[in-house]
Structure 1
Amino acid sequence: MIFNTNFEEQILNLFDEFHFPKEFFSFIWIILSILTLILGVTIGVLVLVWLERKISAGIQQRIGPEYAGPLGIIQALADGTKLLLKEDIIPSRGDTWLFHIGPAIVVIPVFLSYLVIPFGHHIILTDLSIGVFFWIAICSIVPLGLLMAGYGSNNKYSFLGGLRAAAQSISYEIPLALCVLSISLRAIR
């Protein structure tokens, strides 16, 4: 922590020498902290996906992921490109509005949850004073989007799949919320 403070002071002195305002330094510091965190999480997820594919390919004796780039590194990029370029097929008797809004309701709360995550020392996008409760409430909206996406296709099997996904999501949320709330109650003095 001492190194971080000295490093921050050194950069602040450097900005002061070039006659930049302190607000500009604060803005740059916040952006760099957020980008570093997001880049670290993204690279971590890519490494975990790569390891999962390599291990499962070894167990199943598949050689496909070995040949997508050096050591199969480009396989995740190829899968992402394939998903982005897929055709969006809407069922003929499905509800178009629900079919499109369901996945958005699943993704938007995930991005909204970043509002209350502290990205560094005194670096938080929105200080609501109820950050944990806001996070739990926002993440609880996701099962509704799963249900809407399943129901919007007007297919009983898709609806059952949406019900199953929503039930699975809720079954993960309850223990997570209890753990987070117990820690937050312990932290309140």
Structure 2
Amino acid sequence: MTEIVQVSGPELVTYADELAALLVETVGGGSSVGFLAPLDRGAAADWWRERAAAVDAGRLQVWLARDGERIAGTVGLVRAPLPNARHRAEVTKLMVRPSARGRGLGRELLDAVERAAGEDGITLLVLDTESGGLAEGLYRSAGWTECGSVPDYAADPGGVLKPTTFYYKAAGFVPREPRA
């Protein structure tokens, strides 16, 4: 059974090596999550450890999906820092281990972040993803609205510039309850 838990800054540091393995595997599989391949596992672990201060400060929230003893996925929520934007946040780094895909885990992670955002008074969520990628189907089926695409916005893991599509989800969303 998969368990989704929100982690603290110290817990993020504890899980940094496992999260690094997930990040390296995700990037190696061609998913565009901000890094180029080949991604060094040590550099990936350092990247996760560097996020701990933002978690402790409340600027970032991170959830892990544990499948037994292994991290099967993760998602983050970055709160907008400016006073006129405290009502919104960005969903980031939604990753599911390739061996765990196709079982609804991405949707469960997305539901967890949406539910927590709503409980925290967030009324607008945004995210971006590589245009034409598999993640777009997930976001559309979860009620996200496409608001535009920017050509050559980010490089894929191979370094090729690709378009990025932006999505939002406004107040009133009601995520499904987690599976028992």
**What is the TM-score with the length of structure 2 in the denominator?**
0.29
Bigger fraction of residues in strand:
2
Higher relative contact order, chain-length normalized (CA < 8 Å, sep 6+): 2
**What is the TM-score with the length of structure 1 in the denominator?**
0.28
